[in-house]
Structure formats: C-alpha cells, structure tokens
Amino acid sequence: MSATAADPSAADRVRAIPRGRVTQARVLHAEWTKLWSLRSTRWSLLAAVVAMAGLGVLIAAVQMSRWSHLTLQDRLDFKPIDTSLGGVNLAQLAIGVLGVLIISGEYSTGMIRSSVMAVPRRLPVLWAKIGVFATVTFVLMLVSSLVAFLGSQAILTSHHVNVGLGAPHALRAVVGTALFLTVLGVLCVAIGSLVRNSAGGISAFVGLLFVLPGIVSILPSSIGQSIRPYLPSSAGTAITQAVPEAHTLAPWAGFALFCGYTAVTVAAAAFMFRRRDV
C-alpha cells in the first residue's frame, strides 16, 4: 500500500492496519497475555507451586527423622497420602488470593475500563479470565501435587510406610487436589468480580474458606456436625483426602457440591458484570 511509497507518513501507516473482530478465542489469548505479564501473578503462582510441591515433602522428611520417637498409635495413624498432599492447605491461600486479584486488580487500577471498551459485550472477558486461570491452575497444581506425592513417598521408603499411586484413593487424592484448587480459583475469580475490591474480595474468600469453619466448630456439636459437611471448605477438600476427616461428604459428592457453590457464584458474577457500571 501507500505506506511503503514516497510518503511514509504516520497517517498512511495508521490507515494500513487490518480490521479485527472480537472472538472468545481472541479474548482468551489476551487474558493469557495479561496473566503472565504481571509480576505479582508469576510470584503468586510460584508460591502456590512451592507450597503444593514442597510442603508435603518437608513434612514427610520431618516425620521420618522423628519416626523412632513416635508412639505406636502415632505410627498406626500415619497417613502417607494425606501427609504428602499437606501443601494444599497453603497452596489454596495463594491460589485464592490470586483468583481474587486477577479481577479486583483491574478494578483498583481502572484496567477494567480498557478491558470492557475492547470487549463491550463484557462476558467474554469473565469467561476468558476463568478459563485461563483454571487451566493454568489445574496444570501447575496437578504437576505440583504429583511431585509432592512422589517426592514424599520416596522419603517415606526409609521406614517403609510409603504407598504407590495405585494405592486406594491415592490417584483420586492427587488429581482431586488439583481439581479442588482449580475450582477454588474459579470461585475466587467470581468473588473478585462480585466484590470488585482486592481487600474485600480476599476477606470474603478467607472468611468463607477459613473463618466460617472456625465459627461452625464453636456451635453446639449437634448443630455444627450437621452443618459442617456442607461448608465450602469441607465439601471442597473431601476430594483431596485419602482418609476422610469426620463429618464430611463422600469425596465426589463433596466436590460436586463445591462445584455447585462455585457455579452459583459465577452466575451471580456474570449477571452483575453485565449490568453494573464500570
């Protein structure tokens, strides 16, 4: 075109650019770029990976070094799978906080206005954020929980208390840990989208996952025990445990309920995102 001719003025260059069209796939691509171009995201994901992969191995190593001092009861109660996946307790904090920040960070900086101006139908932005974050979380956490499991079991061989992936519930717990963290991440993106404020969103997430169980535990036990299995934290973590805690739903039933809570929150977030001024 004329851009390469005698007058390569800026105006001509401006004229020569192609026209696009917003598609869901393109918005996914953009959200992928956005996710990885923030330093805070990379650090949070690294923290989640280190916590998930490393904490279980660390606990396993400590347990093995103290093994000869443990009582017989402690040795009988030792849970090789759940010990190895203990990092989920810390990883969920990193994933949850990052999930909130992915969207609340756009509100606090005003970036959301640029996002919505580029994609005025809005919902593709929410779907893309959820899709990208869920995919990244699942892949990283699956690898991390596998590393945690295999690494821990290798350490546990020193006192022959190790198990293989083929052991009952082992594979389900390993994959379930990644699934739980993934759905948790989605839940937190939805919370961030609803609350639109980093501090508020993180408070809501921490309150729901960490504070609520504490409150229920101080209720009279008859009431507490009937509520507890249905809390998001109990329902969600059931799938991550090889040896279930008392008063929890069956692993997949609990996970289904956790997905249900998340779906409702996502639906509310989508409804509000379309309607509210940004």
Partner 1 sequence: MIQVRNVTKRYGEKVAVDDLSFAVPAGIVTGFLGPNGAGKSTTMRLILGLDAPTSGSATINGKAYREFDAPLNEVGAMLEARAIHTGRSGYHHLLALAQTHGLPRTRVDEVIELVGLGEVARKRVGGFSLGMGQRLGIAAALLGDPETVILDEPVNGLDPEGIRWIRTLLKRLASEGRTVFLSSHLMSEMAQTAEHLVVVGRGRLIADTTVAEFVGRASADAPVRVRSPQATALAEALADEGVAIASEERGVLEVRGLSAERIGEAASAGGIVLHELTPLQVSLEDAFMHLTHDAVEYHASATADPADASVAELGAVA
Supply the DSSP symbol for 168: T
Compute how many other C-beta atoms are within 10 angstroms of the C-beta atom of residue 85. Answer: 28
Q: Indicate left, alpha or beta for 249 from its phi (over 0: left) and psi (-120 to 50: alpha).
A: beta
Which of residues 8, 120, 168, 207 is near partner 1 by CB under 8 A?
Answer: 120
By C-beta, is 15 or 66 nearer to partner 1? 15
Q: Which is nearer to partner 1, 4 or 37 (CB)?
A: 37
Nearer to partner 1, 75 or 121 (CB): 121
**Residue 114, interface with partner 1 (CB under 8 A)?**
yes
Residue 110 vs 164, nearer CB to partner 1:
110
Window contacting partner 1 (CB under 8 A); options: 12-20, 156-164, 190-198, 231-239: 12-20
2 contributes a contact to partner 1 by CB under 8 A: no
> Is residue 1 near partner 1 by the rule CB under 8 A?
no
**CA–CA separation, 38 and 106 (whole Å):** 12
Question: Residue 167 and residue 160: Cα distance in Å, rounded?
Answer: 14
Residue 220 makes contact with partner 1 by CB under 8 A: no
Side chain identity, residue 147: V
176's CB contacts (< 8 A; 6+ apart) are: 239, 240, 251, 255
Under the binding rule (CB under 8 A), the answer on residue 5 touching partner 1 is no
Cα torsion 121, 123, 129, 132 to 10°: value is: -100
Using CB under 8 A, which of 34, 129, 196, 228 touches partner 1?
34
In whole angstroms, the minimum distance from the beta carbon of 188 to partner 1 comes to 18
Binding flag, residue 42, partner 1 (CB under 8 A):
no
Contacts of 136 (CB under 8 A, 6+ apart): 35, 45
DSSP state, residue 131: H
**Cα separation of 161 and 166, whole Å?**
15
Q: Site residues (CB under 8 A) for partner 1?
A: 10-11, 13-15, 17-23, 26-27, 29-31, 33-34, 37-40, 105-106, 109-114, 116-121, 275, 277-278
